[in-house]
Amino acid sequence: MDNLKVVRELRDLAAVPQNRATIVRDRGCLPGLVLFLDNSNQEVVATALEALHYLAQTHSNRSIMKNEVGLVISLRSIMERSDYDPNVVQLADSIHRLLIPPAGAVTRPLAQARGGAAARSGSNTFLGASNRKARTIVLQVSGLVDQETRSIVEDSLLTVKGVVSFTIDIGRQRCTVRLRSDLKPELLCEAINGTGILLAQQVVKNELGEEVLLSFGSTPQAHVQDEKENSRPMRLPEYLPEEDQLDEDKAIEKSGAVGEGGGWLSSVTGFIGKAFYW
């Protein structure tokens, strides 16, 4: 699946009212749509906006969407783009108005994520018009196994100025981070490794297209003994095949409802988690 195909499928699923709550509450779909807003292909951005507009039509989704890390700030960035089609800019403005009515107070997503800490230190961690210059990296986080360690990763990333948004996948022990172009990845790894119980490494691809891990800073004490006992390269969790093919017999119709098993949404989440490399 490529980016455009995935975002089109999400848009078509979001067009069905009974699917919208499921999509918004899925751990990968809404953060994935936020990542697509920074895509270099304007058609991908426009389609992601269409999906978000459908989702925002359901009133109960709006508070969740408004609080999604990076969404509001990305909408504002698109609204300021002079090089975008006016219809795309207008659509971003329409979604922004649904999430934050003009007469209401402006909500800073990062301040909410930090429990108000950003209100004291300013909003420089999130980018405004310069958000278009953000890039995306993927981190492999050993020790990311449950909600408690997920919260530790979130808190660590929120301390780093220049982080725009992030998506965490516990199953794959991965974190996809959108960050300011001049922010060094090692700062993110050092913030996570500083917890003493987690080990963060950047995932990149070599000239052969193979995944390799880049380590920065000191290794947390909890992982030192493991490395001494086992010098073999760290085995990554299993991922979806590189060329995912949607089984037509099992595929969810674009006009149908999301199945109880959430199989298609799971495959989209997996694709989003592995699709972004710097």
pLDDT digits (tens, 9 = 90+) for 87-107: 999 999 999 999 987 743 333
Query: 145 pLDDT exceeds 70?
Result: yes
Least confident range from 30-34, 61-65, 177-181: namely 177-181
Asked if 215 contacts 151 with a C-beta cutoff of 8 angstroms, the reply is no
Predicted pLDDT of residue 254: 38
- Separation CA 92–CA 80 (nearest Å): 10
Asked if 44 contacts 5 with a C-beta cutoff of 8 angstroms, the reply is no
Predicted pLDDT of residue 240: 41
pTM: 0.49
Query: 222 pLDDT exceeds 70?
Result: no
Read off the tokens for 58.
């359901």
Predicted pLDDT of residue 24: 92
- Separation CA 77–CA 10 (nearest Å): 22
- Higher per-residue confidence, 204 vs 49: 49
Split at pLDDT 50, 70, 90, the class of 267 is low
Q: Specify which of 119-133, 137-151, 237-251, 264-278 reaches the highest per-range mean pLDDT.
A: 137-151
Query: 54 pLDDT exceeds 60?
Result: yes
CB-based burial, 85-119: b 16+ in 10 Å, e otherwise: eeebbebbeebbebbbeeeeeeebbbbebbeeebe
Query: 121 pLDDT exceeds 50?
Result: no
Instruction: Sketch out the chain's domains with CATH numbers.
Output: 1-114 (1.25.10.10), 134-237+261-278 (3.30.70.100)
Predicted pLDDT of residue 111: 41
Task: Write down the residue that tokens 């989704």 correspond to.
Answer: 61
- Higher per-residue confidence, 156 vs 226: 156
User: Where are the strands (E) in 95-151, listed by range?
Assistant: 135-142
